Amino acid sequence: MARMHSGGKGKSGSKRPDSSEVPEWSEKDASMVESLIVEMHDAGHSNAMIGTILRDQHSVPSVKLLLGKSVSDVLNEAGKTRKVPEELMNMMRKAQGIIDHLESNRKDLHNSRQLNLIESKIRRSARYYKGNGMLDGDWNYKRDQLRLMVE
């Protein structure tokens, strides 16, 4: 599938090797990994950072292979859900950075266009998350209240 806001096809990049079982050298204690995930979430790490730390420091190449569920599923079962999904929050942080840049660089038309594209993605993702019950039905993206939502 092609990328949303560019002419590229989006095919390049590395990919994880296909495997259906946990390697013999990796950590095999599922309950310890689940407790590590909850501890790291309480320490303020994002889901992606939790996966990276587990891979690099605790020899867990894939949480999904070991546990049969993703990091976010483990956190949902532990009752550690976030008000706003992580992907949406990352897009809002990116939009806030561009807004800050545009305050001092009013004539930067390229980044003005990028802000419009990011805000479009935010609204589209919010509609998806509202439909799936992952976001409140009355949640709306407002540029003037963005700084309060991000911080």
C-beta separation of 96 from 111 below 8 A: no
Q: Computed from CA positions of residues 18, 21, 26, 28, in that sequence, does the dihedral angle turn out positive or negative?
A: positive
Per-residue DSSP letter, 143: G
Write b or e for each residue in 84-96: b if 16 or more Cβ atoms lie within 10 A of its Cβ, otherwise e.
Answer: bbeebbebbebbb
94 against 151, higher pLDDT: 94
Within a 13 Å sphere around the CA of 66, how many CA atoms are in the beta-carbon half?
A: 24
Average pLDDT over residues 36-56: 92
At residue 2, the pLDDT reads 62
Residues 44 and 95 in one domain: no
Residues 46 and 69 in one domain: yes
Residues 68 and 93 in one domain: no
What's the pLDDT tens digit per position in 66-121? 899 999 899 989 988 888 888 999 999 999 999 999 999 999 999 999 999 999 99
Q: Which of 10-14, 18-22, 111-115 has the highest mean pLDDT?
A: 111-115
**Structure tokens, 28:** 């095999």
pTM of the model: 0.79
Residues 93 and 117 in one domain: yes
pLDDT of 3 higher than 80: no
| CATH number for position 146 | 1.10.287.10
Residues 62 and 90 in one domain: no
Residues 57 and 90 in one domain: no
Write b or e for each residue in 121-130: b if 16 or more Cβ atoms lie within 10 A of its Cβ, otherwise e.
Answer: bbeebbeebe
Average pLDDT, the chain: 89
At residue 1, the pLDDT reads 46
Domain housing 40? 30-77
Residues 114 and 142 in one domain: yes
Residues 95 and 142 in one domain: yes
Task: Tally the domains of the chain.
Answer: 2
The packing angle between helices 86-104 and 109-131, to 10°, is: 160
Q: Computed from CA positions of residues 62, 31, 36, 42, in that sequence, does the dihedral angle turn out positive or negative?
A: positive
Angle at 25 between CA 19 and CA 49, to 5 degrees: 75
At residue 95, the pLDDT reads 96
Is 7 a domain residue? no
Residues 42 and 94 in one domain: no
Is 19 a domain residue? no
Is 12 a domain residue? no
Q: Return the number of other C-beta atoms located less than 10 Å from residue 21's C-beta.
A: 7
Is 10 a domain residue? no
